[in-house]
Amino acid sequence: MKMIKGIAKVIGGFFKLIWKIIDKIFITPISRFIYFIMDKLGANNINFEKLFSSKNSVIVISLICAFASFFVIDTKAVKLVGTEATVLSNQKVEAIYNEEVYVVEGIPNSVDITLMGRKSDLYLAKQLGEHTVSLDLSGLGVGTHKVKLKYNNPIQTLEYKLDPSTITVVIYPKVSDVKTISTDIINSDKLKDTLIVSEIELNREEIIVKSSKEKLKQISSVKALIDVSALNAKTAGTYTLENVKLVAYNDNGKELKNIEIVPNKVNATVVLTSPSKEVPIRVVPKGEVKSGSAIQSIETDIKQVTIYGEEAYLNKVNYVPVEIDVTNLSNINFYRNIVNFI
């Protein structure tokens, strides 16, 4: 029903366009011309009235108008009747097969459709927009098969060509396995410097992976990608992430395709903490002072700083070294130096 309405709308628009052309190029100019003649000759001109009252004159004028109309319509219609070609790029392929039983490799994500025919038909095809490319594998079993793609072609008067039109697919029996989920933190650089991820808890520990036997052998790990930038965290606390994506990887850390993960998303509870420790500053002189001078003592206006990080690293830090260049310093200008540190 939707398609019929679309066709009727396009056809109605086509005739409206033709009428506008006739009105603009033929009817309006002729009417103005007749009015001009009547205005010049005068409304009471007997010869003019006789001319338009004569049956033969009316026939001749009608023939002239008919030929003029035909010429105008024919000239304008050539543009719509002429043959052209257009390409519909990246059209999605819909594969038909039992996804619960089989795994199929070799199905293209998209194809290009070249349509050839009259301009009016090409215009109509673009307006409808109901282009479907299908791959019917429902009658095929395990093995390698060479199959043709099919296009629904809503405008039967158009010829078409698919690229590719024929493909080779490999059908495998689908098997399943159970995998333990691990976590992988992403966008950690977007997290506030004073915060760290101290704990991650998922709402489930195991998932089911489904694919061909050969594909399942390649799975090294299934990871939940914890995007800490999505937390929008400003302070330490416990946060919840929903619909965390699960991805299967091989031994080289490359994501594996054509792997069905059930469920394919999990929820995660992320605990952020802000471990800190106060440590003293230790100034470390660098270079040699002027001859005859010596460093008796070094003092800073800030004695301690607070550092942040994981507990294991904080326990190893006992002070923060700050280097200052004392090259060629004497007891006069030494005190003019300013020690800057973070």
- pLDDT tens per residue across span 211-233: 999 999 999 999 999 999 898 88
Whether the predicted pLDDT of 52 surpasses 60: no
Whether the predicted pLDDT of 114 surpasses 50: yes
Contact 274, 312 (CB under 8 A): no
Region of 309 please: left (phi>0), alpha (psi -120 to 50) or beta.
left
66 compared with 105, residue with greater pLDDT:
105
Closest CA to 219 of 244, 245, 251, 246: 251
Class of domain 83-173: mainly beta
Q: Which residues contact 147 (CB under 8 A, 6 or more apart)?
A: 135, 136, 137, 140, 166, 167, 168, 169
Q: Which residues contact 339 (CB under 8 A, 6 or more apart)?
A: 283, 300, 322, 324
Coil vs helix vs strand at 333: coil
- 124: pLDDT confidence band, cut at 50, 70 and 90? confident
- Write down the pTM of the prediction: 0.56
Closest CA to 155 of 127, 193, 189: 127
Per-residue pLDDT of 78-101, as tens digits, reads 454 557 888 888 889 999 999 889
Whether the predicted pLDDT of 72 surpasses 60: no
d(CA 9, CA 121): 14
146 compared with 41, residue with greater pLDDT:
146
Q: Of all residues in the chain, what percent carry a pLDDT higher than 70?
A: 69
- Average pLDDT score over residue span 190-199: 88
CA-CA distances (angstroms) from residue 29 to 16, 22, 205, 288, 294?
19, 10, 82, 102, 108
Residue with tokens 């024919």: 74
Whether the predicted pLDDT of 130 surpasses 60: yes
71 compared with 301, residue with greater pLDDT:
301
Whether the predicted pLDDT of 119 surpasses 60: yes
d(CA 144, CA 187): 42
pLDDT at 341: 39
Average pLDDT, the chain: 79
Q: Domain boundaries in the chain?
A: 2-81, 83-173, 175-273, 276-336
Q: Evaluate whether the domain defined by 175-273 bears CATH number 2.40.10.220.
A: no
Backbone angles phi, psi at 277, to 5 degrees: -155, 140
- Average pLDDT score over residue span 294-319: 80
Lowest mean pLDDT among 124-128, 198-202, 265-269, 318-322: 124-128
Per-residue pLDDT of 270-286, as tens digits, reads 999 988 888 888 888 87
pLDDT at 243: 94
Dihedral sign for Cα atoms in the order 201, 203, 206, 207: negative
Rg value, the chain, Cα? 41
Q: Of all residues in the chain, what percent carry a pLDDT higher than 90?
A: 29
The yes-or-no answer to whether 83-173 and 175-273 have a common fold is: yes
